[in-house]
Amino acid sequence: MEEKLKKTKIIFVVGGPGSGKGTQCEKIVQKYGYTHLSTGDLLRAEVSSGSARGKMLSEIMEKGQLVPLETVLDMLRDAMMAKVDTSKGSLVVVGTQSSRPSGQ
């Protein structure tokens, strides 16, 4: 599975709120057939799942703190691995600047 991911074309679209990330990703999906992944959607889905990680994320977000980058990247990797077989070899990932490396 990881070998397939290495061969997958991935576009990362990053920007602040209201910068048009979603609009651009929509256009890429429509024009090129990429599979869309959103870090925000992944975080919300994890919180909604009621999992241990979801509860931890909920606590962090309720305090207005930033989710650790390592956590976001772990979730993104898992989602990419899950989508690689249905992605037609292409993923577009949208994220915000709402996480930072630990200790910074």
Residue 44 — pLDDT band, cuts 50, 70, 90?
very high
**pLDDT at site 98:** 54
Question: Does 2-95 carry CATH code 3.40.50.300?
Answer: yes
What share of the chain in percent tops pLDDT 90?
54
Residue 1 — pLDDT band, cuts 50, 70, 90?
low
pLDDT digits (tens, 9 = 90+) for 69-94: 999 999 999 999 888 877 777 888 88
For residue 94, the tally of other CB atoms under 10 A from its CB is: 21
**pLDDT at site 100:** 47
Helix and strand tally (H, E) in the chain? 5, 3
Going from N- to C-terminal start, the domains of the chain cover: 2-95
Residue 102 — pLDDT band, cuts 50, 70, 90?
very low
Question: What kind and span of H or E run contains 20?
Answer: none
**pLDDT at site 46:** 95
